[in-house]
Chain A
């Protein structure tokens, strides 16, 4: 699904990713853990196509296609979804309208017919029920005045509806209490199957209790320094990142 080779990226001339390699096959959940400033969020932004970051070397293939030459919206329509760590507010645009515009853009790209208002509403209602979101969120402006937890849940709602092949969850657990985390994870887990891949970026092991990964990678100073199974995450929680930093 995703194949990253020797990826180097920088922002404002400062190198952040320094030769990152990573392979995420379809049907798997990979967790990226690492200390602050290790490049976790940079990785997610680069994969989504944020123009503030410059890729200086290396490549990223998505379903065999060169991801890095695509515009951000092309990537999204191809099925790459980023759940933002800090989702932005868009005043005056209702959540429902935003979702429908995005969903239809993706559907058109897939050659599927646009959803009529009724079917769309049905799907939104179902998804919102799954995520225990109040119906009034449909008519509120995108993320405006949402609490941190509400914003995150709104990201997962979009994930559920857009149904991407590759979902990148950037610090999904930050600002979420345990209940909210459980609910949001339920949304993610509902999508897990042989056709979907997930890249879960987190600082804390806690999230991985809810979204259990197949593989865990430790990112330090722009490179993956260690990979392993679920137990690696528990090791990190016990020992911290110190050893890995020393070894990097």
Chain B
């Protein structure tokens, strides 16, 4: 079996190439001038500039969080480039024909169907490259249905009322250190608005990629589903292989009004660093949705296989009565990856329900933590939560940890939390082998079984991709 371990150590990161694209970048450093530059570059209204500056001032007075089960050295925020745009698109592409062909090839390498004729029909893609949204497909089809799907910077210009109403309404500027930083310097992201009664006719999708060196990526996504609206949104991430760490501090805000439903799925495969812990993305992300209206529903599904450090807690505020929050997660840490991830379910409305299914897998020297908060406030009569949190260990140099926080202030609430930790048993592998499967197939089979409840939540194409990623990340990691 040790051969198998060596195999994975030698494994190369599949998306680790760098694209040769001219970037239009700021010099490294963060000050009021940086924020003014970004805001001016985007031609933003004054209220947004002031909002950013306020965030910067708040951020400067804040301390980075230290409660997570993660170890990382100090981040030098002055050595990061806060704005990097592919040069040819700095004016913003008007159509696909205007997009830098090199960029399109980059996306081809990533397997993203940017062209409308591309294979994955039915998926509208907004691609964020470094910090700038470069192309959005299927816009006309969506526009016909009344759905707005565009870069956030464009939404600021075209739909200022909506942006101003909802931006920061779910994740306030001062929510946490990284959210404050994002609020100050975010450069672009996706904006999505599903009007009343509309069922979005296709899956919406954003692919993120960090390409330029020393660049931080600070995208911001805002999704609003009005009464009885429905949308399913997919997000995929990759980054090139570099020796230094790169910072990714994103913010995602979801707003679901009465009877609305938002499904948000992520497959995160940022560069994880090498086997010695050199390089890799620092992924500090704030994702939160609010079930504002009665009977609304927000569902987060994430498959986290990348990043050197993942700090991420996609959350739901269950404000509307009878609203539902869900969190399905598979997180894998191999090499020297560390993940501290989970969710928060805040029950405010009556008869609110939440489900948390978390599957953590640790291999090699990976450290894996589930951290989840279930809070039932006083008025949340008949709130229900069920949490199942399982960890799988592969090898004796990794760690798997569980840190749930359960806070209940209503006696009619019912909260159940269960957690288990186990390893892939030798007996299970032997049993599969005795039926003719190779050791690697056996491990894949068992691990996929372990993750089944989560994969089931993903749209079909994504589920296949997620299984593939999982197999690659864990290739030979069983010793």
Contact = CB atoms under 8 A, between A and B. Distances in A.
A76 to B, nearest CB: 4
Contacts of B430: 48-51, 72
B434 A109 contact: no
B448 interface: yes
A239 interface: no
A5 to B, nearest CB: 23
B433 interface: yes
B441 A90 contact: no
Given A90-B431, A141-B449, A76 B425 contact: no
Interface in A79-113: 81-82, 84, 87-88, 90-93, 97-98, 101-103, 105-106, 109
B449 A76 contact: no
A77 interface: yes
Contacts of B431: 84, 87-88, 90
Contact of A92 (B434, B437, B442, B449): B449
Nearest to B442: A73
A76 B446 contact: no
B428 A101 contact: no
B450 interface: yes
A158 interface: yes
B253 to A, nearest CB: 33
Given A50-B430, A88-B427, A93 B446 contact: yes
B445 A90 contact: yes
B425 A102 contact: no
A166 interface: no
A73 B436 contact: yes
A71 B425 CA distance: 17
Contact of A102 (B432, B448, B450, B452): B432
B439 interface: yes
Nearest to B456: A92
B112 interface: no
Interface in B11-47: none
Contact of A76 (B426, B433, B448, B451): B433
Given A76-B436, A141-B449, A101 B427 contact: no
A169 B294 CA distance: 59
A88 B425 contact: yes
Contacts of A72: 430, 433-434
A102 B442 CA distance: 10
Nearest to B427: A88
B453 interface: yes
B435 interface: yes
A156 B223 CA distance: 53
> Which of the four size classes fits the interface of chain B?
20 to 34
A162 interface: yes
B438 interface: yes
A105 B441 contact: yes
Nearest to A50: B430
Contacts of B452: 92-93
Contact of B434 (A82, A101, A142): A82
Interface string A204-243: 0000000000000000000000000000000000000000
Interface residues of A, number: 32
A77 B442 CA distance: 14
Contacts of B451: 92
| Residue picked from A49, A105, A158, most chain B C-beta under 10 Å | A105
Contacts of B445: 90, 93, 97-98, 101
A102 B435 contact: yes
A91 B434 contact: no
Contacts of A75: 434
Interface in A141-158: 141-142, 158
A73 B449 contact: no
Interface in B365-388: none
A141 B449 CA distance: 9
A101 B448 contact: no
A158 B436 CA distance: 11
B336 to A, nearest CB: 28
B448 A88 contact: no
A158 to B, nearest CB: 6
A105 B428 contact: no
A71 B435 CA distance: 12
A52 B426 CA distance: 9
A106 B436 contact: yes
Contacts of A142: 449
Interface in B48-78: none
Given A92-B452, A93-B445, A98-B445, A73 B427 contact: no
Contacts of B428: 88, 90
| Residue picked from B427, B433, B450, most chain A C-beta under 10 Å | B433
A90 B436 contact: no
Contacts of B439: 71, 73
Contacts of B438: 73, 105
B153 to A, nearest CB: 43
A142 B451 CA distance: 15
B448 A92 contact: yes
B425 A101 contact: no
A102 B437 contact: yes
Nearest to A89: B428
A90 B433 CA distance: 13
Contact of A158 (B425, B435, B442, B446): B435
B437 A105 contact: yes
16 contacts: A49-B433, A49-B434, A50-B430, A73-B438, A73-B439, A73-B442, A84-B434, A88-B425, A88-B431, A90-B428, A92-B453, A93-B452, A98-B435, A102-B432, A105-B436, A105-B438
Give 10 nearest A-B pairs by CB, closest first: A92-B449, A93-B449, A102-B435, A72-B433, A92-B452, A76-B436, A73-B433, A105-B436, A106-B436, A77-B436
Interface of B: 425-428, 430-439, 441-442, 445-446, 448-453
Given A82-B434, A92-B450, 7 more contacts: A51-B426, A76-B435, A76-B436, A102-B437, A103-B436, A105-B441, A162-B435
